């Protein structure tokens, strides 16, 4: 790591996980999500990664209307922050115990790639996430579905829109698939990778795992890394040491300290403190924009 490294930080505002019942102040409505994103930006986040939720239930949603309200509120606030919208909703498949005879099970929400991109087509954010493969989630029958065919269709459309894809990779196989798309010209170089560590049955949140993943991304790529739960802040320091960019936020971890629930702004402030104590400085939104988008 260069002693003058100035990483940019992404704040993942709310996610779609089952956290609404665990955190009474989790951003759920479009207004709450937008306000939390603005607060995170003012605390030092250069990029905000946006999911939306169903206001009546707190469950994850892919409603273009909710995305539209969040984006309009942030843009109207004149806050200088780079917008990164998820495209991950719509890939959940709950598999039955008897194969196709009872699949899909309740709780499934699995649609085609163009439907997952409807809000991106309308709102044209700076960045949108692109999950680079299928994977198992937890110890139940739920899996996330992103086939190579779906991924190629998504990449073509995102490139056509002029939006920068953030390649979210959860294990080495995802990196291999992303690299194939780069070689095919479907994703422009330098690509932007997000190394997602610590999810169940993905790459563990360890030094060996993240360095192995880092060794497989193309030279010159932009990359960030994060870990979930209690490993969020240790991974901030680890990624800083490796010369990467950062991510924190309530999508990945709801605690500031043991038993102390956090806000997004507090998580950004804590990460900023770590970086500054290590001799670094967080890049601004304009600096992140210049580095990645121009």
Task: Please report the pLDDT score of residue 5 as a whole number.
Answer: 83
Please count the other Cβ atoms lying within 10 Å of the Cβ belonging to residue 96: 14
Query: What residues form DSSP beta bridges with 192?
Result: 166, 222
Structure tokens at 293: 């988008």
* In contact, 42 and 76? CB cutoff 8 Å: no
- Rounded alpha-carbon distances, angstroms, from residue 138 to 106, 107, 219, 223, 286: 17, 14, 32, 26, 38
Q: SS3 for 180? A: helix
Work out the average pLDDT over 3-28.
93
Per-residue pLDDT tens digits for 235-256: 999 999 999 999 999 999 999 9
User: What are the residue boundaries of the structural domains of the chain, listed by start?
Assistant: 9-292
Q: Is the pTM of this model over 0.85?
A: yes
Per-residue pLDDT tens digits for 2-11: 446 899 999 9
* Of residues 136, 49, 47, the one with CA closest to residue 91: 136
pLDDT at residue 132 greater than cutoff 90: yes
* In contact, 58 and 20? CB cutoff 8 Å: yes
CATH 3.30.300.180 fits 9-292, yes or no: no
């Amino acid at each position: 790591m260069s002693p003058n490294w100035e990483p940019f930080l992404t704040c993942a505002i709310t996610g779609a996980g089952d956290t609404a019942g665990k955190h009474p102040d989790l951003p759920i409505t479009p207004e709450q999500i937008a306000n939390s994103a603005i607060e995170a930006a003012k605390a030092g986040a250069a990029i905000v990664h946006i999911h939306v939720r169903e206001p009546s239930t707190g469950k994850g949603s892919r409603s273009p209307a909710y995305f539209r309200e969040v984006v309009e509120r942030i843009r109207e606030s004149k806050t200088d922050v780079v917008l990164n919208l998820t495209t991950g909703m719509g890939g959940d498949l709950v598999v039955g115990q008897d194969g196709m005879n009872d699949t899909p099970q309740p709780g499934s929400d699995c649609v085609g790639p163009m439907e997952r991109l409807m809000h991106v087509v309308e709102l044209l954010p700076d960045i949108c996430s692109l999950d680079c493969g299928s994977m198992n989630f937890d110890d139940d029958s739920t899996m996330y579905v992103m086939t190579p065919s779906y991924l190629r269709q998504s990449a073509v459309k995102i490139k056509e829109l002029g939006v920068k894809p953030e390649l979210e990779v959860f294990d080495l196989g995802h990196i291999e698939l992303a690299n194939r798309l780069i070689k095919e010209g479907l994703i422009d170089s330098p690509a932007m990778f997000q190394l997602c560590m610590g999810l169940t049955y993905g790459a563990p949140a360890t030094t060996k795992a993240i360095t192995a993943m880092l060794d497989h991304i193309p030279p010159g790529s932009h990359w960030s890394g994060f870990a979930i739960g209690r490993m969020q802040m240790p991974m901030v320091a680890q990624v800083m040491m490796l010369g990467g960019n950062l991510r924190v936020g309530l999508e990945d971890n709801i605690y500031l300290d043991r038993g102390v629930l956090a806000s997004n702004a507090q998580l950004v402030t804590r990460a900023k403190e770590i970086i500054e104590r290590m001799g670094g400085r967080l890049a601004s939104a304009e600096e992140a924009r210049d580095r990645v988008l121009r």
